[in-house]
Structure 1
Amino acid sequence: MLQAQVLELKAKRNYRFIVFKIDEKAQQVTIDMVGNPEETYDSFTKCMPENECSYAVYDFDFTTPENCQKSKIFFIAWSPDTSRVRSKMLYASSKDRFKRELDGIQVELQATDPTEMSLDIIKGRVNL
């Protein structure tokens, strides 16, 4: 089911972003929140939990220097310094396996505080 949501984000552009969390009791990744296509990057970053780890996929639109409209799919591993150590370990150990299940990820970003996933950093990672 998670792959289907990411495919809709990528191919149909039904979502701007998807935020995932690990349900520790069920030991599986679930969807925590989705953003509509018109959502901004700022609204996405405000959705990231302040003191809890999560994964997110974000569809970033940009214009190249040649004036071409493009987009890249970002995978963001969010692990704030204020989250529990056990949670950080769980997310770190699950990240590669979870990311492999998601088709179409073009850029990966690891962030421990909001400045590490600022819009400037995102723009810098699309190789403009």
Structure 2
Amino acid sequence: MDREHVSSGTEWESTVGYSRAVRTGDEIHVSGTTATDEDGAVVAPGDPYAQTVRAIENVADALAALDASLSDVVRTRLFVTDIDDWEEIGRAHGEFFDTVRPATTMVQVERLIDPAMLVEVEAIARL
């Protein structure tokens, strides 16, 4: 089976041993993706809505590198540091996936790798 990898170029990928996204056949798995810019800096500290938007934009970029789009997403997982932010995070998710309607899960976690990160998004797409 062919296997394609997408890298975001962050130091974490080589240190931890993972890829931003992996495509095998007609399925793409996008790793947990946070609200970071091209240099790896956290975008919009303290703003769960803006961080969710940026994280999903980063997911979309990884999918595009594998000839897919958000419309191909069948599953998302949202890891959040404060479940009380669910409405803002959910609003951002809904703006991207309104008609796609993937299966999704949102869970609160104690923390993410950087304390400024409020949300992490995983996705699975099928072509």
TM-score, with normalisation over the residues of structure 1?
Answer: 0.30
Larger RCO of the pair (alpha carbons < 8 Å, separation 6+): 2
> TM-score normalised to the size of structure 2?
0.30
